[in-house]
Amino acid sequence: MESAGSDSPLRDTLLALPRWTAYTAIGLLACGVLTGIALLAAPGLEDALRGTGGQLLVVCLPVLSVAVGVLGASRTRTERIDALVADYLRQTLKEKLRIYLVREAAASPRRAPFPPLFERMEQHCREELTSFCAYRFFDANGRRFDLLVKSNVYNFELSMRLHLRRLPTGVTAAHLGSPDNYQDLEEWPRAQGNPLVNLVPSVVHGSLAEGYTIYVDADPAGEGMVLRLKLRQKLRENFLTSPYLRRYFAEDAAIAAHVFYSEAFAADLDITGGELD
Q: What is the mean pLDDT of each run of 10 residues along the chain (277 residues)?
A: 44 52 72 77 73 76 68 64 87 93 68 83 91 95 96 90 95 92 95 95 95 96 96 83 86 95 93 92
Residue 1 has a pLDDT of 39
Residue 25 near residue 56, CB atoms below 8 Å? no
CA pair distance 269, 169, nearest whole angstrom: 9
Residue 176 near residue 275, CB atoms below 8 Å? no
pLDDT tens digits, one per residue of 105-142:
555 665 557 889 999 999 999 988 889 999 999 999 99
The CA dihedral of 204, 209, 211, 212, to the nearest 10 degrees, is: -10
CA distances from residue 35 to 21, 32, 43, 52, 57 in whole angstroms, order as listed: 21, 5, 14, 10, 9
pLDDT tens digits, one per residue of 134-184:
999 999 999 999 999 999 888 899 999 999 999 999 999 999 998 999 999
The whole-model pTM stands at 0.74
